[in-house]
């Protein structure tokens, strides 16, 4: 994932991302899990919450910018720089937790990600995660695609949003047993009068390659205008999120 984060803006304006991961922690079985890796920990907010729940928690992320904030805010915790599709831990853990990360990883790299998770877990270790599922931000991406095409550009979807069945099958092929899975809508309020435009600038980067900044601003303005009737609700901007939330446990590959 080649992505440079504006870490301060992300932390200050998009706090809903870790906030929605708080209840995801409830899926971790506390009786069988002591050590937990927060995979794609970002600015460390959820790693801290895991620690406060009594877990021996530490984080791993590919963004030096976000890790700098995590280490500054939570110096008592351990944060590692690493790639989610190619990492090894010095010791195995009882659980791997991840929130709002896997949709950033290309489809062809998903097996590498899941193998890394499988290999770092203790026997029957838990894997609890949530990320964008099929239909996530469909209105936003459709409007952007239409505006790109109208101007003679192609729009390539920069994220991976699988169906529940697709991802459950992938987990099972790696050696996991899926014990909980749900795909659900979550309309998410965005901050400020420019909430949707700010969201696009923060989270959608790859499609803008080779497009001048001035035209990028025009495209965002036109896209936001098209979405006003659907996503501006009672004076507040929303993003049409769809989330895939799952829990699995490690099985022996001999089974």
* Interval 197-245: pLDDT, tens: 999 998 998 999 889 999 999 999 999 999 999 999 999 999 999 999 9
Q: Give the model confidence (pLDDT) of 171-190 as tens digits.
A: 999 999 999 999 999 999 99
In a domain, 182, yes or no: yes
What is the sign, positive or negative, of the torsion defined by CA atoms of 162, 80, 67, 1? Answer: negative
Give how far the C-alpha of residue 71 lies from the chain's centroid of Cα atoms, to the nearest Å.
20
The pLDDT of residue 9 is 52
pLDDT for 12:
46
The pTM for the full model equals: 0.90
- Eight-state DSSP code of residue 100: S
In a domain, 154, yes or no: no
The count of domains in the chain is 1
Residue 148 placed within a domain: no
Q: Could you count the other beta carbons within 10 Å of the beta carbon of residue 7?
A: 18
Containing 108, the helix (H) or strand (E) segment is none
| CA-only gyration radius of the chain, Å | 19
Backbone phi, psi, residue 87, to 5°: -140, 155
| Alpha carbons 171 and 166: distance in angstroms, whole number | 9
Please check whether residue 246 lies inside any domain of the structure. Answer: yes
Residue 31 lies in domain: 7-137+160-189+241-250
- Reading the block at residue 47, the tokens are 């790693």
Report whether 57 contacts 36 (CB < 8 A): yes
Confidence of residue 4 (pLDDT cuts 50, 70, 90): low
- C-alpha span between 205 and 57 (Å, rounded): 31
Query: Which runs of E-coded beta strand occur in the chain?
Result: 35-39, 56-61, 79-81, 93-99, 121-132, 176-189, 232-233, 236-250
3 pLDDT above the threshold of 80: no
Report the CATH number that the domain containing residue 67 is assigned in CATH. 3.40.50.150
């Amino acid at each position: 994932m080649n992505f440079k984060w504006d870490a301060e803006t992300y932390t200050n304006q998009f706090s809903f991302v870790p906030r929605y991961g708080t209840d995801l922690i409830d899926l971790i079985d506390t009786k069988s899990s002591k050590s937990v890796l927060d995979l794609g920990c970002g600015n460390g907010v959820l790693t801290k919450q895991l620690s406060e729940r009594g877990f021996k928690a530490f984080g791993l992320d590919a963004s030096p910018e976000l890790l700098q904030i995590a280490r500054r805010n939570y110096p008592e915790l351990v944060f590692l720089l690493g790639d989610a599709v190619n990492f090894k831990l010095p010791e195995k853990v009882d659980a791997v937790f991840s929130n709002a990360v896997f949709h950033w990883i290309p489809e062809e790299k998903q097996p590498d990600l899941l193998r890394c998770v499988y290999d770092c877990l203790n026997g029957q270790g838990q894997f609890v995660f949530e990320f964008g599922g099929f239909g996530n931000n469909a209105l936003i991406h459709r409007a952007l695609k239409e505006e790109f095409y109208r101007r003679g550009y192609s729009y390539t979807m920069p994220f991976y949003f699988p169906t529940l069945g697709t991802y459950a099958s992938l987990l099972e092929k790696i050696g996991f047993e899926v014990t909980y899975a749900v795909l659900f809508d979550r309309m998410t309020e965005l901050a400020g009068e420019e909430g949707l435009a700010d969201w696009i600038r923060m989270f959608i980067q790859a499609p803008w390659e080779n497009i001048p900044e001035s035209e990028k601003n025009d495209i965002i303005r036109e896209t936001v205008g098209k979405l006003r009737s659907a996503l501006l609700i009672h004076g507040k901007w929303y993003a049409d999120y769809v989330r895939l939330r799952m829990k699995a446990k490690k099985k022996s590959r001999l089974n």
